[in-house]
């Protein structure tokens, strides 16, 4: 809870007391109150009630309730309530020209002061406390959103450190053997990096753009490994107005290469685009890939979905195939 008073706090209390005093003014007028009641009662009630509210909200609750010092809170809370209620009641008792022999004493005095203090301050106190609570919730949600954005940026930045190195090696061999293909390779690689730079701060991208990235990435894989990997894109639905986490398909394609070492037959992979989901399914190689992998790519993608929506990734792992289904995010709801 924000423990600093701001302009809106002052405005909301001012509005409450203006309406409250208007109602009290007519009540005083109807019962023919003394002039000094009008002069003294209203400012004293304003001062004492606000003092109780401000001390409770900005000092007592943060200092003792949050730290679970309930006994101290109860004792000091009653003491503050009785002290300021005594000032308010005594001034009102005097301004109303009451008989001092009727002034309460003992337990009657204690209970009366508590009753007056709670009656005067209960509603404005609840009003201000509720306001501060929702301000705190709004601030918390804002911080949570910022934290999610920071986490997403961190996850997006965790690209395979060998990606550029491997592609430069492939390019080096192509320059001497096939200059035309080397030019196409450079073009595709530049398109990928241009896309990565353009989308570095984007949490999601349009599916159509992500498919273009995937096509360029597939070209790099097939140029590097030849016929060892075969990819097919099945568009069973339109690509417009559909979004997925930036670089999601690239992550799944990276997993295919990382975890499957080709044997006699190429590793077949299908990218299936449906109305509400996208599936990447690949045949599993009978040969184990000795390359060490910590599964960070898929785990990062799962985490990004948790941060972006309440939808989850589906993973099916059998002896013959590995299938990952990611939900398509609808930004217009």
Give the pTM: 0.54
- Beta partners for 231? 269
Give the class (CATH, top level) of 203-327: alpha beta
Give the count of alpha carbons within 13 A of 329, CB side only.
Answer: 21
Three-state SS at 281: strand
Q: What is the model's pLDDT at position 294?
A: 46
DSSP secondary structure string, 200-267?
TT-SEEEHHHHHHHHHHHHHHHHHHHGGGEEEEEEE-S--TT-EEETTHHHHHHHHHHHH-B--SS-E
Burial 120-139 (b: 16+ CB within 10 A, else e): bbeebbebbeebbeeeeeee
- CA angle (250 as vertex; 249, 254 as ends), nearest 5: 120
Cβ contact 58:5 at 8 Å:
yes
Element (H, E) at 117: helix 106-156
111-120 pLDDT per residue, tens: 999 999 898 8
pLDDT band at 15 (very low <50, low <70, confident <90, very high): confident
Place of tokens 């009366």: 112
pLDDT at 2 > cutoff 60: no
203-246 pLDDT per residue, tens: 889 999 999 999 999 999 999 898 899 999 999 888 888 999 88
Mean pLDDT over 299-312 rounds to 81
Distance CA 252, CA 280 (A): 7
Domains in the chain: boundaries: 7-155, 203-327
Place of tokens 């008073």: 5
Distance CA 119, CA 129 (A): 16
Distance CA 118, CA 114 (A): 6
């Amino acid at each position: 809870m924000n423990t600093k008073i701001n302009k809106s706090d002052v405005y909301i209390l001012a509005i409450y007391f203006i309406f409250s005093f208007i109602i009290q003014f007519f009540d005083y007028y109807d019962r023919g109150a003394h002039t000094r009641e009008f002069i003294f009662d209203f400012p004293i009630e304003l001062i004492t009630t606000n003092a109780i509210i401000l001390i409770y909200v900005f000092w007592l609750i943060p200092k003792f309730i949050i730290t679970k010092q309930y006994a101290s809170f109860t004792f000091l809370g009653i003491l503050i309530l009785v002290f300021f209620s005594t000032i308010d009641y005594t001034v009102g008792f005097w301004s109303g020209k009451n008989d001092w022999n009727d002034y309460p004493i003992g337990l009657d005095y204690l209970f009366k002061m508590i009753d007056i203090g709670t009656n005067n301050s209960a509603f404005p106190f609840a009003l201000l406390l509720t306001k501060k609570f929702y301000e705190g919730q709004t601030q918390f949600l804002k911080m949570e959103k910022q934290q999610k954005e920071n986490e997403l940026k961190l996850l997006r930045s965790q690209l395979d450190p060998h990606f550029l190195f491997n592609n430069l090696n492939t390019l080096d061999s192509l320059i001497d053997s096939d200059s035309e293909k080397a030019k196409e390779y450079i073009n595709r690689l530049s398109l990928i990096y241009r896309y990565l730079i353009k989308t570095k701060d984007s949490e999601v991208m349009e599916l159509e753009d992500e498919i273009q990235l995937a096509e360029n990435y597939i070209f790099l894989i097939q140029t590097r490994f030849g016929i060892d990997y075969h990819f097919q894109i099945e568009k069973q639905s339109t690509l417009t107005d559909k979004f997925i986490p930036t670089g999601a398909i690239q992550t799944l394609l990276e997993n295919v290469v990382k975890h499957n070492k080709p044997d006699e037959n190429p590793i077949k992979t299908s990218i299936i685009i449906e109305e509400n989901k996208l599936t990447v399914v690949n045949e599993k190689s009978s040969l184990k890939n000795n390359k060490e992998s910590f599964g960070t790519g898929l785990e990062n993608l799962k985490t990004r979905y948790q941060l972006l929506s309440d939808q989850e990734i589906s993973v099916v792992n059998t002896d013959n195939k590995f299938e990952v289904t990611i939900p398509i995010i609808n930004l217009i709801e």
